[in-house]
Amino acid sequence: MKSQLPFHWFERFWSVAGAVSVRTKILGIILGLVLLLGLGVTVQVRATLIQTMDAQLEDQAVSVARDLAARATDLILVNDLYALHQLLNETQANNANVRYAFVVDAKGQVIAHTFGDGFPGDLLTANAAASDDHHHTIILNTDEGKVWDTAVPIFDGRAGTARVGLSEAGIRQTVNAVTGQLLLTTVLVSVIGVTAAAFLTWILTRPILQLAQAAQAVGRGDLSQRVPRWADDEIGDLAESFNTMTAALAKAEEERAEREQLRARYVSGVIAAQEDERKRIARELHDSTSQSLTSLLVGMRALSDTCDSLAMRQHAEELRSVAAQALDEVHNLALQLRPSVLDDLGLPAALERYVADCQRRYPLHIDLAMRGLSGCRLPAEVETALYRIVQEGLTNVARHAQASTASVMLERRDGAVRAIVEDDGRGFDPEAAGRAEERLGLYGIRERAELLGGRLTIESEPGRGASLFVEIPVSDSPNPGAKAGHAYV
């Protein structure tokens, strides 16, 4: 558990530090370093200063006390107490750290001191010097802080003892002043450091933020984005790489769009050619083959009328019915290929005929509803596309859905035509791969819708039927080019 503790701490640290921005991280590092260095230096300087100044204070205490003892000797011997008193006062006045000075005579009586009225209790007995001592220094605990008390015997103790107390208050003041200065410097340097770091991080993160914005724009598909190379460093290299990548993407996109356009044009051409070909064949079937068959039928009737032999007549009737069936099939084939009614009477009529034809051919009930399509006609390519889409949809329903009912609904509204083909059949999974031809059929109608700027949606679930939804935009204004068969003739 213990070995995991640092990781635990690191995780907690990182959950905080990792959540802030790079700008804050750099600021934090600079601020942290400056504060750490400043505080460390302050603590160390303070400690060294106190140590040095304490040692100096002790030396000063000894030198002041020795000097006082030497100068006091004759004054004590001749009992010049006034001069002695003056000497003590001068000693205190001339040495800022001297808190007190006093002289004790050989009998232990204080004969002069700097305290004014009265004398602190216990001070007299706190320190003493033997007659052969050079000096004797102790540190006294006083209510005013530590005091270096030095006792020096006067005239080998025969004239008494000189006592001097040096207070560390002055030292403390100096040390505190220095500490204050150092802390102030630390704060100032911190402010300068944070300002510099803010500028630095602005310089550092500006290209990164720009890169991020440009990358988002590229993600949205705007490949025109380029970022400036601010500096000749790693971030500059990254910007360069980004620009190269975006340029390559743009070129690839351009090529893809070009290919797509070509493909669309090609597909559009193929579809148009297919429709033209179908129309031509249908017309051929109608105009030429049907006429021939009709002539044949008329000929057969005449033949059967003029024929006396029953067997011959019967045979002619049979041939006539075969010809009539062929005419029907030719009609159906022409209708399947391209109903001329679509070109001549428009989408609603064509769909009505197609739906009726479907109901006749398949065991399927189909509801057809159309709204907003009467009046002006849709553009020919839209009519063709919608017709083919409904045709494909209903063919699929009839062949694969095993449905009993289907509904077709067309509506023109709000600048678009929507067509829905629904059934109550077995349904399928639109995502799963169906049969290849089925997929190809769906792909074809999707392609038709998209070529016209529309979109096709298929919704289905196994067992829940299926719905095919297509929407193609059209202008609401009457289409001047919407004359019958204009687009494909």
To another protein, the closest distance from the beta carbon of 167 in angstroms equals: 8
Query: Is 10 or 199 the residue whose CB approaches another protein more closely?
Result: 10
Burial string for 365-388 (b: 16+ CB within 10 Å, else e) reads ebebebeebeeebbbbbbbbbbbb
CA distance 67 to 65: 5
Query: Is 120 or 299 the residue whose CB approaches another protein more closely?
Result: 120
To another protein, the closest distance from the beta carbon of 36 in angstroms equals: 7
Taken in order 92, 97, 102, 106, the sign of the CA dihedral is negative
Amino acid at the residue 447: E
Query: Is 44 or 216 the residue whose CB approaches another protein more closely?
Result: 44
Cα 183–186–187 angle (5° rounding)?
Answer: 90
Decide the pairing of beta strands 466-473 and 455-460: antiparallel
CA distance 51 to 210: 55
Contact 151, 128 (CB under 8 A): yes
Q: Give 25's Cβ-side CA count (13 Å radius).
A: 12
To another protein, the closest distance from the beta carbon of 241 in angstroms equals: 36
Written as six digits, the tokens of 454 are: 């529309």
Q: What are phi and psi of 338, to 5 degrees?
A: -170, 110
Amino acid at the residue 139: I
Query: Is 157 or 430 the residue whose CB approaches another protein more closely?
Result: 157
Return the axis-axis angle of helices 380-396 and 347-361, rounded to nearest 10°: 20
Decide the pairing of beta strands 466-473 and 416-423: antiparallel
Decide the pairing of beta strands 365-371 and 405-413: parallel
Query: Is 66 or 286 the residue whose CB approaches another protein more closely?
Result: 66
To another protein, the closest distance from the beta carbon of 43 in angstroms equals: 5
To another protein, the closest distance from the beta carbon of 128 in angstroms equals: 13
CA distance 172 to 288: 125
To another protein, the closest distance from the beta carbon of 111 in angstroms equals: 9
Query: Is 104 or 417 the residue whose CB approaches another protein more closely?
Result: 104
Query: Is 99 or 418 the residue whose CB approaches another protein more closely?
Result: 99
To another protein, the closest distance from the beta carbon of 240 in angstroms equals: 37
To another protein, the closest distance from the beta carbon of 29 in angstroms equals: 12
Query: Is 168 or 423 the residue whose CB approaches another protein more closely?
Result: 168
To another protein, the closest distance from the beta carbon of 80 in angstroms equals: 6
Torsion-angle region of residue 135: left (phi > 0), alpha (psi -120 to 50) or beta? beta
Kindly state the greatest CA–CA separation across the chain: 191
Query: Is 94 or 125 the residue whose CB approaches another protein more closely?
Result: 125
To another protein, the closest distance from the beta carbon of 220 in angstroms equals: 45
| Residues in contact with another protein by the rule CB under 8 A | 36, 40, 43-44, 46-48, 50-51, 54, 73-74, 77-80, 99-100, 109-110, 115-123, 126, 138-144, 147, 155, 158-159, 165
Written as six digits, the tokens of 467 are: 């719905």
The alpha carbon torsion through 307, 309, 315, 318 (nearest 10 deg) reads: 60
Written as six digits, the tokens of 93 are: 């006045």
Cα 471–474–479 angle (5° rounding)?
Answer: 150
Query: Is 72 or 468 the residue whose CB approaches another protein more closely?
Result: 72
